[in-house]
Amino acid sequence: MSATSTISPAVLDVEKIRKDFPILSTMVHGKPLVYLDNAATSQKPLSVIKAIEHYYTHENSNIHRGVHFLSQRATEAYEVSRKKVAKFINAPHDYECLFVKGTTDGINLVAYSYGKQFVKEGDTIIISAMEHHSNIVPWQILCEDRKANLKVIPINEKGELKMDEYKKMLAEDKNVKLVSVCWISNSLGTINPVKEIIALAHEKGIPVMLDAAQAVQHIVVDVQDLDVDFLTFSGHKLYGPTGSGILYGKEKWLNAMPPYQGGGDMIKHVTFEKTTYNELPFKFEAGTPNIEAGICISAGIDYLNGLGIEVVAQYEHELLEYVTAKLLEIPGLRIIGTADQKTSVVSFFVDGTHPSDIGILLDKMGIAVRTGHHCTQPLMEIFGIPGTVRASLAFCNTKQEMDQLVEGVKRAVSMLL
């Protein structure tokens, strides 16, 4: 579905919501913080902060190991959280949801384990030109190791995937073993037509992995409807704690893949001669995990569900349209990423200025944006710029903050030019 879904036109009580985020009342250089770096990491509502405190106050214990009371309590909380995550993305089975450290970890796991089992010399992995380094480098490492090819779906000047080129790749290359693309681009905001991407790959029996790091907080995720093979995201961008993340994988793939890491929890039986592996999900969860993060990732999900993701998406889209139109009034300002289907990210470049200069000056006005290449260096080269200023929005931002951003950029530009 698109972010312009019209399911619910209800308005959010943003002023009330903002009170749930203590950090938003921070003063920066004597000015109230305007936090527009939500794509890098989201801020945490009190309920998540309290859940973390609750864990350490009442539940802390190692999981899956002890017969004692606390260990069982912690294990229970951990597994309940997994169930909530499974429900959130509509996974058929909760054991198909692996706890990982984050998106990067999830992609590395698949690159390693799927790659080890299924990718051979001369095979091909397809990614796209708008990938985060996290969805480039693990595949490069794999391809180098296997002497496999990495092919890149190009984009048009609006920052949309050239689907014709993708179809051509699938038609011409008989050795494609996996397609791995982002659902939403972190530097352009483009929402990719993932359902179509998956369907096209499946026609050839090729599995698809989605980097959903920027999607889960803005879009309803239904892995069954998508029929996606792997999907990964980070809890810290989803109002939850850092160090939490999820890798969803279809059972048939996860069962066919060798473990990623060896250690405690992932084994059934160990002798020095041979180890038999535990069943899913534990086969892929070696060692003591980040228990607190695993438990509290679902507190972030609960918060978002409480607001209603469709309502959130609609509000965020309105903010995006509003700020985009206002920014475009600034002479010399170019929006980088003008896809028809777009969400929550506005990246721009002002002729004659360097993004880092604008970022530094905005910071002095209390406005937090990201500047640079956003870990998508190849993409910046395509647009022929050193980087962009990126404002990434969330439901806790206000129209007034959008005005402040626009005024801030105007002021910065007038100082710089």
Partner 1 sequence: MTINEIQDELIDEFQMFTDWMEKYEYIIQMGKDLPLISEQYKQDDNLIRGCQSRVWLHADYKDGKVLFTADSDAIITKGLVSMVVRVLSDHTPSEIAGAELYFVDKIGLREHLSVTRSNGLLSMIKQMKLYAVALQSQEK
Ligand X SMILES: Cc1ncc(COP(=O)(O)O)c(C=O)c1O
**Where do the H-state alpha helices sit in 124-267?**
137-146, 163-172, 194-203, 223-226, 251-256
Q: Residue 186 or 353: which CB sits closer to ligand X?
A: 186
Q: Residue 241 or 408: which CB sits closer to partner 1?
A: 408
Cα–Cα nearest to 16, from 241, 301, 305, 307? 307
If you write DSSP's letter for every residue of 140-167 in order, what string do you get?
A: HHHHHHHT-EEEEE-B-TTS-B-HHHHH
Among candidate residues 97, 182, 296, 375, the one labeled active-site is 375
Binding partner of residue 347 among partner 1, ligand X, none, CB cut-off 5 to 8 Å per kind: none
Q: Residue 212 or 333: which CB sits closer to ligand X?
A: 212
Q: Is 143 a catalytic residue?
A: no
Binding partner of residue 182 among ligand X, partner 1, none, CB cut-off 5 to 8 Å per kind: ligand X
Binding partner of residue 214 among ligand X, partner 1, none, CB cut-off 5 to 8 Å per kind: ligand X
Q: Residue 132 or 283: which CB sits closer to ligand X?
A: 132
**Signed CA dihedral, 182, 187, 191, 192: sign only:** negative
Cα–Cα nearest to 347, from 292, 396, 389? 389
Among 8, 25, 356, 400, contact with partner 1 (rule: CB under 8 A): 356
User: Per DSSP, what are the bridge partners of residue 28?
Assistant: 31
Indicate whether 156 belongs to the interface with partner 1 (CB under 8 A): no
Geometric angle at alpha carbon 244, from 48 and 89, rounded to 5°: 85
Backbone angles phi, psi at 314, to 5 degrees: -65, -45
Residue 209 near residue 125 (C-beta atoms within 8 A):
no
Among 357, 382, 398, 410, contact with partner 1 (rule: CB under 8 A): 357
CB of 158 to ligand X, least distance (A): 18
Q: Residue 303 or 348: which CB sits closer to partner 1?
A: 348
Binding partner of residue 102 among partner 1, ligand X, none, CB cut-off 5 to 8 Å per kind: ligand X
Q: Residue 317 or 370: which CB sits closer to partner 1?
A: 370
The 8 Å CB, 24+ separation contacts for 138-143 are 138/107, 138/108, 138/110, 138/111, 138/112, 139/111, 139/180, 141/111, 142/111, 142/112, 142/115, 143/119
Positions in the binding site for ligand X (CB under 6 A): 102-104, 132, 134-135, 182, 186, 211, 213-214, 234
Among 354, 382, 398, 410, contact with partner 1 (rule: CB under 8 A): 354
Binding partner of residue 211 among ligand X, partner 1, none, CB cut-off 5 to 8 Å per kind: ligand X
Among 81, 371, 392, 404, contact with partner 1 (rule: CB under 8 A): 371
Cα–Cα nearest to 389, from 340, 318, 338, 333? 333
Backbone angles phi, psi at 112, to 5 degrees: -75, -55
Indicate whether 29 belongs to the interface with partner 1 (CB under 8 A): yes
Q: Which residues bind partner 1 (CB under 8 A)?
A: 29, 353-357, 359-361, 364, 371-373, 386-387, 415-416
Catalytic residues: 375
